[in-house]
Amino acid sequence: MPETPPTAHRQPAPNSALLQTRRPALPLALCLALSTLLSACERTSQAPQHGAMPPPEVGVVVVEPGPVGLQTELPGRIEPYRVAQIGARVAGILQKRLFEEGSEVQAGQALYQIDPEPFQLARDSAQANVLKAEAALAQAQDVQQRYGPLAEDGAVSQQALVAARLAVQQATADLASARASVQTAQLNLGYARVSSPIAGRVGQTLVTEGALVGQGQVTPLTTVQQLDPVYVNFTQSADEVLRLQRSLAQGQLKRVRGTQAASVRIVLPDGSEYPRTGKLFFSGVTVDASTGQVTLRAEVPNPERLLMPGLYARVRLEQAQASEGLLLPQQAVKRTQTGNTVMVVAPDGGVSVRAVQIAQAVSGQWVVLSGLKAGEQVMVDGFQKLRGNAPVKPVPWKRAPEATPTPGTPGTTGTKP
C-alpha cells in the first residue's frame, strides 16, 4: 500500500475581525503627516519673506520752472578794428627804426627816419625861388605903376601898358608856383619821418636800416593794428540772419544799454568766456549766391589786448530771459529714432517713457520746451537697474564733482538735438 504522506502542520487561520481592524492604520498615518506638511507650507507662504530684494534706487530730479536765458553760439574770427599799412612815401635811405616791435604806439608817433638831407636842400631851393619870384613881381608892379600916368599923357602906347599888366600877372603866378614848391618840399621833408596814422600795436618791421625805400613805388615798412575794440567776423545763413533780426525787433535778444545792437559774449578757444560784453551789428547787406551766407560783425572791447587778430572764437548771443523755463541735466535726455525722451518716475515708483522737446543747452542743462510738467520726477541715473515694469525707489540725484557737461545732442557730442 502506498504510504500516506505526512500531514502538514497547519497554522491557525487568523481572525477576520482582527484583520479588518488593523488594515486601515497605515493610510491614516500618512494622511495625518500630509495634512501637517500642508499646514506648515501654508503658514510658510503666508509668513513675510525677509530675504526679498527691495526696489532699486535711481537718481531723479524734480522739474521746477525758473528763469532761463537762451543763447545761440556762432563761430567766428577776431579781426582788428583798424589796420594801417605803413609805407615809405618818398625815396631815400632808411636811417633809423624808432620803435620796438610789438609795442603800443600813438597816432602821429614817428616809426622810421629816412635820410632828410636831400629834402632839406630841395626845400631851401624852393624858398630861394620864392624870393626870386617876389623880386620879379615887385619889378613888374613898378613898371605897371610908371606906365599908367605915361599912357594917359600919350608918352607910352597902350600896348606897352597892357604888356606891363601881363608881366605883373605872370610874376604873380610864378610867385604862387614857387611858394607851392616850398610846400611840396616841406611835405616831402615831413614824409622822410614816417609816422603812424593810428594808435595801436605795431608789428614786425619789414626793412632794416640802410635799405633804399620808396624808389618808384611805396615800400611797405610795417603794420599798425588798432586792437581796442576788435571785431569778430562770422557768417550765418540768410534764414538765420532774418530770424536774428526778427528776434531783435521783438525784444527776444538782449540789447546793449543805450544802443539798438544785440548784446553778445565771446567764448575763447579754451572754452572760457571773455569777461567783456560786445555788441552785434548786422553789417552784411548781400547774400553770397554760392553759399547763401551773410557776413555779420560783432564789436568787443579789448583793453587788455587778450583778443588777438586771427584768433578763433565763438559769438554767444544772449537772448531775452524766459521767466518760466524747465531745465534738465543733459544725461537725463536720451535720443531715439522718434525723438528725445526721458524716464519719468511716478510717486508709486512706476517708470514711464516721456517724449520731450528741447531747445538748447544752458550751463550743462537742456532747456525743455514741452513734454514735462512742474513737480514731475525725471530719472537721471540708474537706467541699468530697470527690470521691466518693476517699481523703483527715487532718490535725489547728485552731480558728480568730476563730471563736466558737454554741449551737444543727447548721446552725442557737440551737435544740436
Q: Are residues 232 and 278 in contact, defined by beta-carbon separation less than 8 angstroms?
A: yes
Last residue of a domain, one of 208, 223, 238: 223
Same domain, yes or no: 198 and 265: no
Beta bridge partners of 201: 104, 225
Checking DSSP bridges between strand 278-281 and strand 293-300, what pairing results, if any? antiparallel
CATH of the domain at 293: 2.40.30.170
Whether the per-residue pLDDT at 176 is higher than 70: the answer is yes
For residue 29, being part of any structural domain is answered with no
Whether the per-residue pLDDT at 36 is higher than 60: the answer is no
Same domain, yes or no: 377 and 296: no
Last residue of a domain, one of 193, 208, 223: 223
Domain range for 386: 58-67+324-396
Alpha carbon distance 284, 267 (integer Å) = 22
Same domain, yes or no: 285 and 190: no
Same domain, yes or no: 76 and 95: no
For residue 412, being part of any structural domain is answered with no
Whether the per-residue pLDDT at 27 is higher than 70: the answer is no
Same domain, yes or no: 110 and 215: yes
Phi-psi bin for 277: left (phi > 0), alpha (psi -120 to 50), beta? beta
For residue 133, being part of any structural domain is answered with yes
Q: Measured in whole angstroms, how far is the alpha carbon of residue 163 from the centre of its chain?
A: 78
Whether the per-residue pLDDT at 80 is higher than 60: the answer is yes
For residue 268, being part of any structural domain is answered with yes
Of 278 and 338, more confident: 278
Same domain, yes or no: 288 and 355: no
Of 242 and 377, more confident: 377
Same domain, yes or no: 135 and 254: no
What's the structural domain count of the chain? Answer: 3
52 secondary structure, DSSP code: P
For residue 355, being part of any structural domain is answered with yes
For residue 283, being part of any structural domain is answered with yes
Same domain, yes or no: 248 and 206: no
Top mean pLDDT of 48-62, 73-87, 236-250, 254-268 is at 73-87
- Looking at residue 157, its pLDDT comes to 83
Alpha carbon distance 415, 206 (integer Å) = 44
399-414 pLDDT per residue, tens: 766 544 444 444 443 3
- Looking at residue 330, its pLDDT comes to 85
For residue 339, being part of any structural domain is answered with yes
Same domain, yes or no: 199 and 251: no
CATH of the domain at 341: 2.40.420.20
Q: How many CB atoms lie within 10 A of CB 38?
A: 10
**Cell 609795442 appears where?**
103
Last residue of a domain, one of 223, 238, 265: 223
Beta bridge partners of 107: none
Residue 125: which pLDDT band, with cuts at 50, 70 and 90? very high
Please list, in sequence order, all residues whose beta carbon lies within 8 angstroms of the beta carbon of residue 131, skipping any fewer than 6 positions away: none
CATH of the domain at 178: 2.40.50.100
For residue 11, being part of any structural domain is answered with no
Residue 312: which pLDDT band, with cuts at 50, 70 and 90? very high
- Nearest CA among 234, 237, 242, 243 for reference residue 287: 237
Q: Which three cell numbers stand for residue 103?
A: 609795442
CA distances (Å), origin 220, targets 97, 197, 258: 14, 14, 41
This prediction's pTM: 0.58
Same domain, yes or no: 167 and 211: yes
Same domain, yes or no: 105 and 180: yes
- Looking at residue 2, its pLDDT comes to 44
Share of the chain above pLDDT 90, in %: 34
- Nearest CA among 371, 284, 364 for reference residue 329: 364
Same domain, yes or no: 286 and 305: yes
